[in-house]
Amino acid sequence: MITRRTLLASAAALGLTAPLPAFAVTQQAATQLVGQLVAEVNAVIASGQPEGAMLAEFERIFLRHADVPTIAAYVLGPARRAATPAQMQAFMQAYSAYVARKYGGRFREFIGGEVEVVTARDLPRGVEVETRALLRGQSPFRVDFHVEDSTGRPLFFNLIIEGVNMLLSERQEVLAMLDARGGSLDRLIADLA
Amino acid sequence: MRARSLARPAALVPAALLALAACTPAPPGTQVHDPYEARNRAVHAFNIKADTVALRPLGQAANAVVPEGIGAAIVTFSDNASLPGMALNGLLQGNIEDAAVNSGRFVFNTLFGFLGFGDPAAEIGLYERDTDFGETLAVWGAPEGAYLELPLLGPSTERDAAGELVDILLDPLEWVGSDAVEAYRRYGTAAYVGEQIVERGQFMGTVDGLLYESADSYAQARLAYLQNRRFQLGPASGAGGGAAQADGFVDPFADEGAAAPAADAYPDFVDPFADLE
């Protein structure tokens, strides 16, 4: 059974988080996080580097500001119960690269557009920061970041684009990937890595 | 964005409404009601083939040869031709503000945006308020019905499929009866096809990821469509126990297998942390 403590410990071992005491995140801190993320994405776009280099930057931005250990643990769902700590750590490492590639790549669609913070509100846990993305030739659309600071600094643990929820979509996808491999977590880790 | 066809006997409207009466009740929350899954999956396989041989290569070609400005003009023109229908739906929903915005946008861009190829309306904050007859049906209280994947048109529901049919049949541009307006409507239909190609090219990476890189692209498309549609329709979607579908709060810290949102007030919230305690 993986507890939150062992999970955070393995995350810290990976250098993904700093093991500091947890406080509830404030709306101000959550908004600041999203503002910083948007500024970093815009800076990469403005730099005009080749697309491959930009994608690598987007992945780094995603990893820097996302609560990847929490996301990885959640998307594994019930399969997490049967996983050993070593498997969890390997999965987290493999999944980080996968999810950063997949969702960091989405930032590319913001080229030529702009994202602005609209408002922030408290959630049952953490804070929702609502943003409005304006891409060329499109009506404005809504992107929400769900932010918490359980690791000691504000990180987003969910991303909702026009109602499409990253955690729910990813949990379904990971389940399908496991099914396709006869439920073998080791095979999934090997394929993701 | 709506499909438009050239022939549209308005007599089919009652038939569409009758078909709707057969809709199964809408499920709550993020649940998926998919009694036709086997047939839907067969249609999905067909749609992927159609994408592979036609839409995707056309999107690639558009990316290569169509200048960005031209592509944007095609999309804007197509959307402009569908604004009168959206304004009509706004009226049918009792949403005067959206109907006025869509009408104002149509008039403004048709007059000052080169018949709708340009988008000066966006510069004064007059954006499209996307709607369709599927939303009108939802506002009127029709249940969402079962999930459907339609050939070439893609993900839908029983309610949205009925709405799409009615939108094809009821286009205000057709009622004007002038040759010039009729020509405009037909160019709008052609631009709609162009829009699909341009947008396939524009979102190449995301669409490819969904259709070709997912372990279960059918289930991913289904979940994305239902979440997005329920978000668009808000409380009228009938999927969230009357709560706004705007927050998407999933508590990944909580859960234990429960993919359902924690509370009606936070339909999108997932607590991953509670999962780990």
| Range of the structural domain that residue B161 is part of | 2-24+33-203
Q: What is the mean pLDDT of residues B9-28?
A: 53
H or E element, residue B237: none
Contact (CB<8Å) A164/B266: no
Give the lowest-confidence range in B18-27, B227-236, B255-264: B255-264
B247 within a domain of the structure (yes/no): no
Substitution target in B124, B276, B277 with the highest count of A β-carbons within 10 Å is B276
What pLDDT does residue A106 have? 76
Which tokens is A95 given?
């999944």
A121 backbone dihedrals φ, ψ, rounded to 5°: -145, 155
Position B261 scores a pLDDT of 44
Residue B118 within a domain: yes
Burial class for B206, CB neighbours closer than 10 Å (0-12, 13-18, 19+): middle
Query: Can you say how many angstroms the Cα of residue A33 is from the centroid of all Cα atoms in its chain?
Result: 13
Q: How far is CA A160 from CA A178, B102, B155, B194, B269, in A?
A: 24, 26, 19, 29, 10
pLDDT value at B245 more than 50: no
Compute CA distances B62 → A106, A176, B57, B81, B272, whole Å. 20, 33, 9, 21, 41
Contacts of A165 in chain B (CB under 8 A): 30, 227, 248, 250, 268, 270
CA-closest candidate to residue B102, choices B121, B123, B88, B87: B87
Average pLDDT, stretch B200-213?
91
Number of domains in chain B: 1
Residue A117 binned pLDDT confidence (cut-offs 50, 70, 90): very high
Within a domain: B134: yes
Give the gap in angstroms from C-alpha A160 to the nearest C-alpha of chain B.
Answer: 7
| Residue in B closest to A131 by C-alpha | B247
Which residue reads 């250990």 in tokens? A69
B175 touches chain A (CB under 8 A): no
Question: Residues B225-253: what's their mean pLDDT?
Answer: 73
Between A109 and B206, name the one with better pLDDT.
Answer: B206
Between residues B109 and B22, the one the model is more confident about: B109
* DSSP-assigned letters across all residues of B86-102: HHHHHHHTT-HHHHHHH
Name residue, tokens 């999810």: A99
**Res. B4 pLDDT band, cuts 50 70 90:** very low
| Tens digit of each residue's pLDDT (9 = 90 or more) over B117-156 | 999 999 898 999 999 999 999 999 999 999 999 999 999 9
Instruction: With respect to residue B210, please indicate whether it lies within any of the assigned structural domains.
Output: no
Whether B275 maps to a domain, the answer reads no
| B192 in A contact zone (CB under 8 Å) | no
pLDDT at residue A119, rounded to an integer = 94
Angle between helix A85-104 and A68-76 (nearest 10):
110
* Distance (Å, whole) CA B135 – CA B156: 12
What values do phi and psi take at A165, rounded to 5? -95, 120
| Per-residue pLDDT band at B68 (split at 50, 70, 90) | confident
For residues B221 and A116, what is the distance between their CA atoms, to the nearest angstrom? 28
Are A144 and B230 an interchain contact pair (Cβ–Cβ within 8 Å)? no
Within-domain flag for B246: no
Low-confidence winner among A92-96, B40-44, B101-105 (lowest mean pLDDT): A92-96
Please tell me the distance in Å from A132's CA to the nearest CA on chain B.
Answer: 13
The percent of residues in chain A predicted with pLDDT above 90, rounded, is 52
- A77: nearest CA partner in chain B: B257
What's residue B8's pLDDT? 45
Q: Give dist(CA A185, CA A81) in Å, integer.
A: 12
**ipTM (interface predicted TM):** 0.82
pLDDT digits (tens, 9 = 90+) for A4-60: 445 445 544 444 444 444 458 899 999 999 999 989 988 888 888 888 898 889 889
Among the ranges given (A127-131, A187-191, B176-180), the one the predictor scored with the smallest mean pLDDT = B176-180
pLDDT (0 to 100) of residue B6: 38
Q: Which residue pairs from A107-113 have beta carbons closer than 8 angstroms and sit at least 24 positions apart in sequence?
A: A107/A41, A107/A44, A107/A58, A107/A61, A107/A62, A108/A51, A108/A54, A108/A55, A108/A58, A108/B205, A109/A135, A109/B203, A109/B205, A109/B206, A110/A41, A110/A42, A110/A45, A110/A135, A111/A45, A112/A45, A112/A136, A113/A138
User: Considering the domain boundaries, does residue B221 fall inside one?
Assistant: no
Residue type, A85: P
